[in-house]
Amino acid sequence: MADYHCWPLWHHGSSKVGNIDPRSLGLSTALQTRLKHWAEEYDSHLDLSDPAAVSWTPEEETAFDREGRRLCTALANEVGSGFDVCFFDQKTARCIPVLELYTGSQEPNQVAQTTPGLRPSVSDL
């Protein structure tokens, strides 16, 4: 889940709270970098003098959401079945289990193909 000036990974569905430093999960450097850039993209839209002002175009929102879903899938593939992964959809305020992210869409569900039995929902993006 994106939030200003935070890591984009969060505890969810457990007694733990707060965001998670991707380095603590042993993720590949490439995925850590992608997560950092995604968080920086979110931060870049914050106007500290007027935090309520939103500066996203519809195209930027769509691209940001799409990349977040891809990152969620990549995260699930890297952490494997030891973690439950979901994506927080900003529009619906719902945590979507990673296995449901691409149901009915044109994009392939890589997690279903590479990580059968993954349990959604403890760590979300």
How many domains would you assign to the chain?
Answer: 1
Reference 32, options 55, 12, 7; nearest CA is 7
Q: What type of residue sits at position 13? A: G
Total residues found in the chain within this entry: 125
Question: Which structural domain range is residue 104 located in?
Answer: 10-124
Q: What is the number of alpha carbons within 13 Å of residue 22 lying toward its C-beta?
A: 26
pLDDT at 91 over 90: no
The answer, yes or no, to whether residue 75 has pLDDT greater than 90, is: yes
Read off the pLDDT band of 125 (50, 70, 90).
low
**Cα(86)–Cα(105) distance, rounded to whole angstroms?**
17
In a domain, 3, yes or no: no
pTM of the model: 0.79
* CA atoms of 111 and 116, how far apart (whole Å): 7
Domain annotation covers residue 5? no
Kindly tell me if the per-residue pLDDT of 116 is higher than 60. Answer: no
Does some domain include residue 4?
A: no
Summarised one tens digit per residue, pLDDT across range 26-72 is: 999 999 999 999 999 999 988 888 888 878 899 999 999 999 999 99
Is residue 1 assigned to a domain?
Answer: no
Q: What is the pLDDT of residues 6-18, one digit of tens each?
A: 889 988 877 788 8
